[in-house]
Amino acid sequence: MSITTQLAAVVVGTGPVTIDGVVAVARHDAGVRLSDEALEAIAAGRDVVDRLAADTQPHYGISTGFGALATVSIPAERRRDLQRSLVRSHAASTGPEVEREVVRALMLLRLSTLATGRTGVRAEVATAYAAMIDAGVTPVVREYGSLGCSGDLAPLAHCALALMGEGEVRDAAGDLMSPAEAGLTPVTLTEKEGLALINGTDGMLGMLALALHDLDTLLTSADVAAGMSVESLLGTDAVFAADLQGLRPHPGQSVSAANIRAVLHASGIMASHKTPECTRVQDAYSLRCAPQVHGAARDTIAHARAVAERELASAVDNPVITPDGRVESNGNFHGAPVAYVLDFLAIAVADVASMSERRTDRFLDVARNHGLPPFLAHDPGVDSGLMIAQYTAAGLVSELKRLAVPASVDSIPSSAMQEDHVSMGWHAARKLRRSIDALTRVLGIEVLTAARAIDLRAPLAPSPVTGAVRDLLRERGIPGPGPDTYLSPDLETAADAVRDGSVAHVLNGAAQ
C-alpha cells in the first residue's frame, strides 16, 4: 500500500479502533486525537479512583502493591513512588529493537483502552500519550520481555517510561534520543496510572491487526501465483468450476477458486491444450487443490479477524473500573484468545507457502514441467536457471514449519507463582511476523518462476492477468529467459512486488 498524502487523524473514542485505523497510525504515520466523549469517560473513571484513593480500605492497584505484592498496603505519600517504580522495574525488555510500526500499534491500542474510561487515568495522561503518538515519537522497545500475561507488560512499560521522561525514544526521523530531546514534557503518574499504562494485550493485538492486513493481500497474491502456475504448467482449469467448488461450501475456498478462474480467463495458453487429444484430467495436488488450501487459510484469517475485532472492542486492565463505578480485579489481561489465533495463522501461512514451493519445483523438473527446459535454464549445463531459487524457497518453507510450532502452549510461571499460567502471545506474534515475511518471499519466487515459464510458452499468449504480472516484473527489472544473471536482487524485487500489493492489485484491478 502506497500512501502519497497525509492521512487524516484517527479519532480515538470510547468504542474500538478499526484494523485499518491501526495500520494507518502504525505503518503510515497518521496522527491521533481523543474524542470529547472519550475525555468525558476518562474524567468519570478518574473520579472513581480519586474517591477510592482517599478510602482507608486497601484497593488493588490504587493503594496496594502489585502481583505477588498485592497484599502490601502503600501509604498515600508513597503512591507516586509506587507508580514510578512499577514502570521502571517493568521496562525490562532486552534484545533487538522492535519495529516502529509495532510500537505505534501497541501505543494506539493502549490509548484506545484509556479512552474507554475503564482504567482510571487522568485526562492529562491520556492526552500526553496521544501527543507522543501524534508527534511520531516512538519509545525504544526490545524484543524479549513479554510473557503475554498480564498482557504485554514490558513493552508497554517502555512506552510509559518515555511518558515519564525516562528511557530512550526515536523521533519521527528515526534518530535515537532522550524523551526530553524529543520535546516530551515528563508526566508524573499518580494512583493507578502506571498499572493502567502497562496492563494489556496491546502488543500482540497490534501485531495481529497488522498481520491480518498483510494476509488479505498475500492470499490474493497466492491465488494469482497458483493461477500462473496452472497456466504455464499446462494444467486444467476445469476443477475450479463454481459448481464443483460449491459441493464443498467453505467460503474461503469459493473466493480462492473464483480468483483463480479470473486469473486464467481468456488465456491462450490454456486454450491451446483444450483439445480432444488432451488427456490431462487431473493435475498434481499443488495445482488442483490450491482453492482448498488457500481457502482454508482464508477461513482461518476470518476467524482470527473475528477474535481481533472482539479484542479491539475490549477494555483490558486490572483492576478495571466497571460502568457502575466498582473497581474489580479480573483476568481479562490473559492473552490466550489472541495467542491462539496468532499460532493458528502461522500454521496456515506455512501450509500456503509449502504448496507454493511445490508448484515452483514442478517448473524445474523436465519429468513434470511438460516441455520446458531443465530448471528453465537458457543453456542447461552451462546455465543453472532457477535451480537455486527453488533451494531458497525450500529453505524458507523449512523455517516456516519451525515457526508453525505454537508458542501458546509453552507457559512458564512467573511472579512467585502468582502468574502461574501465561499466554506467550507476544512470542506467537513475533514469529508470525517472520512467517509472513517468509511467505512473501516464497510467493515472489513462484511468481518469478511462473513468469519465466510463461515467456517460454511463446508464441502462446498468457491470460490478461498473468501477462500483466509478467510485465510488472519485467518493468521492475527482472529479466526474462536468457543466460544466468545475479539472481538475488531479482528475488528481492519479486518479493517486493508481492509485499507492496502490486501482484494482488493486478487481479483486483481486472475484477473491477
Residue 151 in contact with residue 200, Cβ under 8 Å?
yes
Q: How far apart are CA 477 and CA 497, in angstroms?
A: 12
Q: How many helices (H) and strands (E) does the chain have?
A: 19, 9
Instruction: Give Rg (Cα) of the chain.
Output: 26
Q: How far apart are CA 340 and CA 406, in angstroms?
A: 8
Q: How far apart are CA 301 and CA 209, in angstroms?
A: 11
Cis peptide leading into residue 459 (ω within 30°): yes
User: Cβ atoms within 10 A of the Cβ of 241, count?
Assistant: 11
Instruction: Give the type of residue at 349.
Output: V
- Catalytic: 60? yes
Q: How far apart are CA 486 and CA 151, in angstroms?
A: 46
Residue 310 CA from chain centroid, whole number: 17
Catalytic member of 60, 285, 340, 391: 60
Query: What would the grid cell of residue 271 be?
Result: 486454450
Among 283, 287, 231, 295, which residue's Cα sits nearest to residue 257? 295
Angle at the Cα of 278 from the Cα atoms of 277 and 279, rounded to 5 degrees: 110
Q: What is the DSSP letter of 16?
A: P
Contacts of 104 (CB under 8 A, 6+ apart): 25, 26, 27, 133, 138
Instruction: Give the type of residue at 97.
Output: E
Contacts of 138 (CB under 8 A, 6+ apart): 100, 103, 104, 169, 170
3-state secondary structure of 11: strand
| Positions marked active-site | 60
